[in-house]
A = this chain, B = another copy of it.
Amino acid sequence: MGGDNAPAAVVEGAVLAAREYEIKVLLVGQQEVVKETLRNFDLGKGSIEVIPASQVVLMDGSPTEAVRRKRDSSIAVAARLLKNRDADAMVSAGNTGAALATTRSLLGKLKGLARPAIAAVIPNAVDVTILLDVGANAGGCKSEHLLQFAIMGEVYAKDLMGKENPRIGLLSIGEEKSKGSATTLGAFPLLMQSKINFVGNVEGKDIVNGTVDVVVCDGFVGNAILKFAEGMSEMILQLIRAELSRGKLSKLGMLLAEPALRKFKKRVDYTEYGGAPLLGINGACIIGHGKSNAIAIKNAVRVASEFVSHKVNNHIEQNLQIMNKQDS
């Protein structure tokens, strides 16, 4: 029931995923509405089951309220399916805070982990960079949290992005190790001592120039950058289109350039990459953008399925354990 285009986009995306990936999709939500919507799409040989959930958490609803008072919301029912092993993974395009609070409360955190994080995939000049945390934490992350984000980001890059020895950078305000906030200055030696491939401090520009695979930062900073990136790519396309359509010759240029611009937009389009995993939750939960269309939902289901088959959570727990042993 979550997301700006729910339930239509979610239902269509689920149908596409069930047809394409040969997995069974459980659609959790208000039964009548969901079943009615399902009738609009051709399921083919795909398998879908509708699981009733009477309540809806609104996009701007309070996460704590959702946990306390909406025990029959689609997000809570879905989390309970995971808890009871009736589902392997979940996808939500709804209220991110509510998804986080609900899964944290019902499924708990991974062993040895202090704070979960949301990892986003940002296109760079070569392929993609993983940025985390982008909003599971509203600021106030400590040095040890950044180390744990790095460990989770490394597993994500290896297991889901196929990077063999991912380069991990610590977001700071200068490349020199002496530059940074109290938190990053404290995280630097922890990252140096760890077993990950730590390349040192990186700056904002390094998120997009392809010199690093994973960038670790506080959730407030990551969220601001992620939303800035979205706004900037929209703004730039607008500006370029406006510039191109001004002169007569340029108008012809625009006509010829349009296919390239569309390709580019696809490149910076979050829908291509599916959702962002809630790393650190004891369960596989993929968060879709609130604006997710059917393709985005389909891709998020694919990511959820890979998250499980690649045993991402097992690997995170193993690496956290190795690190905790090192410390003690």
Give A contacts to B, CB under 8 Å. Answer: 60, 62, 124-125, 135, 138-140, 171-173, 176, 178-184, 203-209, 217, 219-221, 223-236, 238-240, 243-244, 246-247, 249-250, 252-261, 263-264, 267-268
Q: Are B220 and A240 in contact (CB under 8 A)?
A: no
Q: What is the count of identical protomers in the complex? A: 2
Chain B residue contacts of A247, Cβ below 8 A: 259-260
Q: 5 tightest CB-CB pairs across the interface, nearest first?
A: A253-B256, A139-B181, A205-B231, A204-B227, A204-B228
Distance between A248 CB and nearest chain B CB, rounded to angstroms: 10
Q: Which of B206, B234, B239, B268 contacts A231 (CB 8 A)?
A: B206
Q: Is the interface of A mostly helix, strand, loop or mixed?
A: helix
19 example contacts (A-B, Cβ-Cβ < 8 A) are as follows A62-B178, A135-B173, A173-B223, A204-B229, A205-B232, A205-B234, A207-B231, A220-B221, A228-B228, A232-B233, A233-B236, A236-B236, A240-B260, A244-B260, A247-B260, A250-B256, A250-B260, A253-B256, A256-B257
Q: Are A257 and B264 in contact (CB under 8 A)?
A: no
Q: Which of B135, B139, B181 contacts A182 (CB 8 A)?
A: B139
